[in-house]
A and B are shown apart, each in its own frame.
Chain A
Amino acid sequence: MSRRRVAVALGVAALFAATFLGAAVDPSSASMSDDTDGGLVIPPGGGMVPPMHPTFALLNGDAANVLSSGRPVSTLTTCDRCNAACEHQGHGDRLGGSRSLVGCRGGEDLMAIKPVGPSVRKGKAPNPRPFPNPYLVGVGLGVVLFLSVLITGDGLGAPGAVQRIWAWIENLVAPQHVDTNIYLVRYAGGEAQPLNHWIVMLAIGVLIGGFISGLIGRRVYTEIVKGPLISNRTRLLFALLGGSFVGFGARFARGCTSSQGLTGSALLSVGSWVFMMAFFAGALAAAPFFKKLWND
């Protein structure tokens, strides 16, 4: 038993050590060798560094490149401004700051976009609608939270469901272990049914609600959402890593961004406001080290 615990502890230590080492290494270095997003493109004009992924030239009606730099632009930038994940040229190019000229696919009528590199996607390209105004969505989310508190006396949350599903699996595999673990025993010890809890129902609802919203917004399609400078593999690796930090942190803080952050803050819990500040501090502190993950 004790040897097993030591092994687990070592494993955890290794995971965290790897994480911090990984954080110190420039994330983009991992992406150099395994780019999967398409072939190299030598842009017209040549002499430039080949871009890492398919690109478009921005042409006006006279087939002249509209960018003063003349360089092709990435197809894989997720637009921060219009929130769309469509293939379009990032606002990063600025175009003299005139945002209206550069849009998502809706902007095609304004400007001819001619692919000069191989297209990533096969079949019909996704055509997502822009997201509604954040203040408006915030009010909607606040009303949902209010209704939850009003009707059930409890707020919103998610990792509890993950914890319970996991305790259920662990209980199937190693019931004795669950019964002797001081933490897991309350979820699945003895006769306890870990899945028989409202938070699991809430998670199922989130899945359904997210899907409905995605359908309305035409955003249901397989995609790896990532920054333009990293490969799919890098993104998924960091998603796994970030997820495990979040899972660990959420249990440590006894709540996640939804339960401690949203619900607890709305209920004026002192701990929840501490959580909010620590959360934003953690994310802001980490931001400079992971610039490559999210920026172009």
Chain B
Amino acid sequence: MPFPLDLHELGTPVTYTIFVFIGIGFGFMLEQAGFGRSTKLAAQFYFKDFAMFRVMFTAVITAMVLIFGAVGIGILDFRKVFVPGTYLWPVAIGGFILGVGFLIGGLCPGTSIAGAATLKIDAMVFLVGVVLGVFVFGETVPYFIGFWTTSDFGRLTLPEWLGIPTGVIVLFIVVFALLLFWGSEVLEKKLDGADPADAPKARYFGAAAIVLVALVVLLLGDPSTADYWDAVAADEQARLDSREVQIHPGELLGLMNDTFVNLVMLDVRDERDYNQFHLRAARQTDPTLESVEAVSPDLTGLAPRSVIVAMSNDERDATEAWKTLVANNVINTYILEGGINEWLEIFGEDADPKPTDYPDQLAFTFTAALGGRCVASDPHSDDFELIYEPKVVIAGPSAVVGGGCG
């Protein structure tokens, strides 16, 4: 998946040039829409001019089908796209205040810049007002920062929330928007006497085209973990094969005792083995694809300097889990070399070895299921002299962080 581009790699001058050009396109379209004129925008709310509504919703559905079309054919990695976080109540209240201000001022921040570019004095004054509002917010937010950070659902999209495939939602929104457009034309005829027959016929073709693309999005379906793995397999399989990501037990012990690292240990053995013995603070997840997929979202938004280590009895299940995590965009992910069996070989002084019959089986027996309370669950690093080659390199987040108004 070549998109979105890695802006860190491109460097600042290129990135900034790209953004200036996107801004030019944005400003051009805003001005073409007539959004530099407050009267035209405000007229929407008196049902005298439906341009604002039509431009906005046409833009939303056009961008939506193109974005999810690109996701569907596998050229855009949606997980790397910045989606504004859902802070339910602050968003609702802020949106309402913004709506009131929009009606009073007749503009919004983007359109006021476009208006100011065409020398509209009211747009310039409006911008000064925006600065004032931003200043007031910055000065007062410490008083309501508790509320402002409340009801945080993080990155939550409608398909995730409703548990419905993206394509269905996309198609529904497109059809809904088209119905609203039709309704606005009926309303316009009723209120202003405008004849819909005057409007260009091409809009029917446009509507048909957008429904068609939405249907394609529906047919393509959401990309699966396998699709994502295929996209990164070339690089990542090489790292697996060269054993760059399998870390020695000694290095894991070092990470466990490193207070500057946020270590997440993911134990993908079944519950029986986990209850017999596991590393202290390790988190158990079944080795199935679904279970590992389910924990992946929790592991993508971790604090900086986080390291994830997957482990099974040997390496087989841990490697599969690692692939799933990497395919799902979890960064700084490693595998415990030799798994729990090798760990016990080194640290498990009181564990009894037993022969194994099949791969990824626990090769030790325990007199009691002590879980994380064994000595070997959290051994003293001073007691062991281990020689290993450190492999962990903590990378920063690769996705774009920030966002529209960030």
| A residues adjacent to B (C-beta < 8 A) | 5, 8-9, 12, 15, 23, 78, 80-81, 83, 85, 97, 99, 131-135, 137-160, 162-163, 165-167, 170, 181-184, 197-199, 201-214, 217, 219-227, 235-236, 238-287, 290-291, 293-295
A135 touching B203, Cβ below 8 Å: yes
Q: Per a CB cutoff under 8 Å, which of A133, A157, A241 touches B405?
A: A157
A205 touching B40, Cβ below 8 Å: no
1/0 per residue B293-311: CB within 8 Å of A?
Answer: 0000000000000000000
List the A side residues contacting B48 at CB < 8 Å: 80, 295
Asked whether A209 and B93 contact (CB < 8 A) given A163-B405, A255-B403, A280-B99, the answer is no
A154 touching B400, Cβ below 8 Å: yes
List the B side residues contacting A274 at CB < 8 Å: 86, 88, 91-92, 95
Q: Is B169 engaged at the interface, CB distance under 8 Å to the other chain?
A: yes
Q: Tell me the minimal C-beta distance from B11 to chain A in angstroms.
A: 12
Q: Tell me the minimal C-beta distance from A19 to chain B in angstroms.
A: 8
Asked whether A278 and B125 contact (CB < 8 A) given A155-B82, A162-B131, the answer is no
Minimum-distance CB pairs A-B, first 8: A205-B23, A242-B105, A243-B129, A259-B404, A282-B99, A138-B58, A247-B133, A253-B94
Q: Tell me the minimal C-beta distance from B190 to chain A in angstroms.
A: 13
Q: Per a CB cutoff under 8 Å, which of B59, B129, B139 touches A142?
A: B59
List the count of A-B residue pairs having beta carbons below 8 Å apart: 627
List the A side residues contacting B61 at CB < 8 Å: 142, 266
Q: Give B64-108 interface residues, CB cut-off 8 Å to A.
A: 64, 66-67, 70, 75-76, 80-88, 90-108
A212 touching B28, Cβ below 8 Å: yes
Supply 16 further A-B pairs (C-beta < 8 A) apart from A81-B194, A224-B120, A250-B94. Answer: A131-B33, A135-B181, A141-B33, A146-B62, A148-B26, A167-B138, A198-B7, A201-B23, A206-B26, A207-B114, A210-B28, A217-B31, A227-B42, A246-B108, A272-B91, A286-B100
For this complex, 16 residue pairs linking A to B, each with C-beta atoms less than 8 Å apart, are A9-B140, A137-B55, A141-B63, A143-B63, A153-B7, A159-B134, A162-B131, A201-B16, A210-B27, A220-B119, A223-B121, A246-B126, A247-B101, A249-B98, A275-B91, A278-B94
A271 touching B192, Cβ below 8 Å: no
B404 touching A138, Cβ below 8 Å: no
Q: Is B161 engaged at the interface, CB distance under 8 Å to the other chain?
A: yes
- A137 to B54 Cα, complex, angstroms: 9
B95 touching A260, Cβ below 8 Å: yes
Residues of B within 8 A of A (CB-CB), count? 143
- A67 to B194 Cα, complex, angstroms: 20
A210 touching B157, Cβ below 8 Å: no
List the B side residues contacting A131 at CB < 8 Å: 32-34, 40, 51
1/0 per residue B13-41: CB within 8 Å of A?
Answer: 00110111111111111111110111110
Asked whether A144 and B26 contact (CB < 8 A) given A207-B116, A250-B405, A282-B102, the answer is yes
B103 touching A252, Cβ below 8 Å: no
List the A side residues contacting B158 at CB < 8 Å: 268-270, 273
Q: Per a CB cutoff under 8 Å, which of A139, A227, A253, A271 touches B39?
A: A227
Q: Tell me the minimal C-beta distance from B135 to chain A in angstroms.
A: 6
Asked whether A267 and B110 contact (CB < 8 A) given A149-B67, A241-B129, the answer is no
Asked whether A206 and B129 contact (CB < 8 A) given A141-B33, A264-B404, the answer is no
- A142 to B122 Cα, complex, angstroms: 27
A153 touching B23, Cβ below 8 Å: no
Q: Is B353 engaged at the interface, CB distance under 8 Å to the other chain?
A: no
List the B side residues contacting A15 at CB < 8 Å: 136
Q: Per a CB cutoff under 8 Å, which of A153, A210, A283 touches B80?
A: A153
- A44 to B62 Cα, complex, angstroms: 53
List the A side residues contacting B37 at CB < 8 Å: 78, 83, 85, 225
> Interface segment, B142-150, B338-346, B358-366, B376-384?
B142-150
Q: Per a CB cutoff under 8 Å, which of A150, A155, A183 touches B404?
A: A155
Q: Which residue of A lies closest to B404 (CB)?
A: A259
List the B side residues contacting A204 at CB < 8 Å: 20, 23
- A98 to B75 Cα, complex, angstroms: 52
Q: Which residue of A lies closest to B3 (CB)?
A: A150
**By CB atoms of chain A within 10 A, which of B95, B115, B119 has the most?**
B95
Q: Per a CB cutoff under 8 Å, which of B15, B44, B60, B181 touches A266?
A: B60
List the B side residues contacting A159 at CB < 8 Å: 109, 130, 134, 405
Q: Is B200 engaged at the interface, CB distance under 8 Å to the other chain?
A: yes
Q: Tell me the minimal C-beta distance from B180 to chain A in angstroms.
A: 11
List the A side residues contacting B203 at CB < 8 Å: 133, 135
A247 touching B134, Cβ below 8 Å: yes
1/0 per residue B333-374: CB within 8 Å of A?
Answer: 000000000000000000000000000000000000000000
B86 touching A242, Cβ below 8 Å: no
A158 touching B138, Cβ below 8 Å: no
List the B side residues contacting A132 at CB < 8 Å: 32
Q: Per a CB cutoff under 8 Å, which of B57, B83, B193 touches A267?
A: B83
B110 touching A246, Cβ below 8 Å: no
Q: Tell me the minimal C-beta distance from A24 to chain B in angstroms.
A: 13
B103 touching A286, Cβ below 8 Å: yes
Q: Tell me the minimal C-beta distance from B29 to chain A in angstroms.
A: 4
A282 touching B100, Cβ below 8 Å: yes
List the B side residues contacting A264 at CB < 8 Å: 83-84, 404
List the B side residues contacting A284 at CB < 8 Å: 45, 99
B100 touching A144, Cβ below 8 Å: no
Q: Which residue of B lies closest to A245 (CB)?
A: B101
- A257 to B149 Cα, complex, angstroms: 20
